[in-house]
Amino acid sequence: MPSVGMKGRERNTKTVKNKTEDYLKKNGRLYCEVCIFDFVKEYGSRGDGFIECNHTNFLLDYDEPTKTSITDLVLLCSNCHRMIHRKKPWLSVNELKKGETN
């Protein structure tokens, strides 16, 4: 069972679990969708199953969405996740990838 790092309200919901399981099935391992950071590669067994999950529909409003589907979630390493939330407006994954600095 992957333990998923959460930030604030992005707690371990069933959707988060589904997302990580789906991602594992598709990609064979968990890694950051922005920078491809792989916790297992870097930290060995300590990093096994670890990844943070970002709700993209929290970008504008920090309130809990009424309904989250796995397409609303992205898997991120701790660095990328922090950078997204570092200041408002929060960046989307694509903006972070492009290195936008607003």
Interacting residues toward Zn ion by CB under 5 A = 7, 32, 34-35, 37, 54, 77, 80
Cβ pair 23, 42 in contact under 8 A: no
* Minimum CB distance to Zn ion smaller for 9 or for 21: 9
| Among candidate residues 67, 70, 79, 66, the one with its CA nearest the CA of residue 7 | 79
CB of 85 to Zn ion, least distance (A): 6
Q: Give the dihedral sign, CA 54/57/59/62.
A: negative
* Minimum CB distance to Zn ion smaller for 32 or for 91: 32
* Minimum CB distance to Zn ion smaller for 8 or for 44: 8
CB of 97 to Zn ion, least distance (A): 10
Q: Give the dihedral sign, CA 39/45/74/57.
A: negative
For residue 24, the surrounding DSSP H or E stretch is helix 14-27
* Minimum CB distance to Zn ion smaller for 7 or for 17: 7
CB of 32 to Zn ion, least distance (A): 3
CB of 39 to Zn ion, least distance (A): 10
